Amino acid sequence: MNVRISAGELTERSLQIIRDLKHLEGPMLPILHAIQAEFGYVPEEVKPVIASELNLSRAEVHGVVTFYHEFRDHPAGRHVLKLCRAEACQSMGSDRIADRARQLLGIDFHETTLDGAVTLEAVYCLGLCACAPAAMLDGEVFGRVDELCLSEIVAEARR
């Protein structure tokens, strides 16, 4: 994912995505997901393009983008590590795992390591509650995460 693209190209690629999807009923979320898949985040410059294509105000688009935890206003690191912080994982010591992750990466939740390798995110449930604590590195899922497993995941992400 190349974030150093010109404004013209950004608009061009966004327009393509929006026009492919705007025929859907309720096209906004599919468009935002596709934009984030394309650029790694939802660039500020894309909001007016979406607004104009969907005949909405910029404020409405901004409101939607900022409502959902998933959409980013800046690119994530090369890998995104999500740790579940919900009750089932808590019951199996996820708070300890979270502390360890912060320590290993030297960052807090919603932050990215200085080398740009890993962004740490909290999630509330991955549906892996009978093999807690759970984690997800990009699309890959991990259950019964202990300190050893966590350090392997972090090492993998850092490579």
Partner 1 sequence: MTVTIFVPRDAAALALGAEKVAKAIAEEIKARGLDAQIVRNGSRGMFWLEPLVEVRTEHERIAYGPVKAGDVKGLFDAGFLEGGQHALHLGPTKDIPFLRQQTRLTFSRCGVTDPLSLDDYRQYQGLKGLENAIAMTQAQIVAQVTDSGLRGRGGAGFPTGIKWKTVMDAGASQKYIVCNADEGDSATFADRMIMEGDPFVLIEGMIIAGIATGATKGYVYTRSEYPHAIATMTEAVEIARAAGILGPSVMGSAYAFDMEIRSGAGAYVCGEETSLLNSLEGKRGIVRAKPPLPALQGFLGRPTVVNNVISLASVPVIMDRGAEFYKNFGMGRSRGTIPIQIAGNVKYGGLYETAFGLSLGEIVDHIGGGTATGRPVKAVQVGGPLGAYFPRALFDTPFDYEAFAARDGLIGHAGITVFDDSADMLKQARFAMEFCAIESCGKCTPCRIGSTRGVETADKIAQGIEPEKNKALLADLCNTMKFGSLCALGGFTPYPVMSAMNHFPEDFSPAPLIEAAE
Residues 102-121, mask of contacts with partner 1 (x by CB under 8 A):
--------------------
Q: Assess 48 for contact with partner 1 (CB under 8 A).
A: no
Q: Assess 19 for contact with partner 1 (CB under 8 A).
A: no
How far is residue 142's CA from residue 151's CA, in Å, rounded to a whole number?
Answer: 12
Sites for partner 1 among residues 66-95 (CB under 8 A): 67-71, 82, 86-92
Q: Assess 24 for contact with partner 1 (CB under 8 A).
A: yes
How far is residue 8's CA from residue 38's CA, in Å, rounded to a whole number?
Answer: 15
Q: Assess 136 for contact with partner 1 (CB under 8 A).
A: yes
Amino acid at 63: G
Q: Which one, 68 or 106, has the nearer CB to partner 1?
A: 68
Residue 135 is encoded by which pair of tokens?
């984690």
How far is residue 89's CA from residue 101's CA, in Å, rounded to a whole number?
Answer: 15
Q: Assess 148 for contact with partner 1 (CB under 8 A).
A: no
Q: Assess 23 for contact with partner 1 (CB under 8 A).
A: no
Q: Assess 39 for contact with partner 1 (CB under 8 A).
A: no
Using CB under 8 A, pick the residue from 1, 12, 44, 63 that binds partner 1. 63
Q: Which one, 8 or 26, has the nearer CB to partner 1?
A: 26
Q: Which one, 114 or 155, has the nearer CB to partner 1?
A: 155
Residues found near partner 1 in the complex (CB under 8 A): 24-30, 32-33, 54, 60, 63-64, 67-71, 82, 86-92, 123-132, 134, 136, 139-144
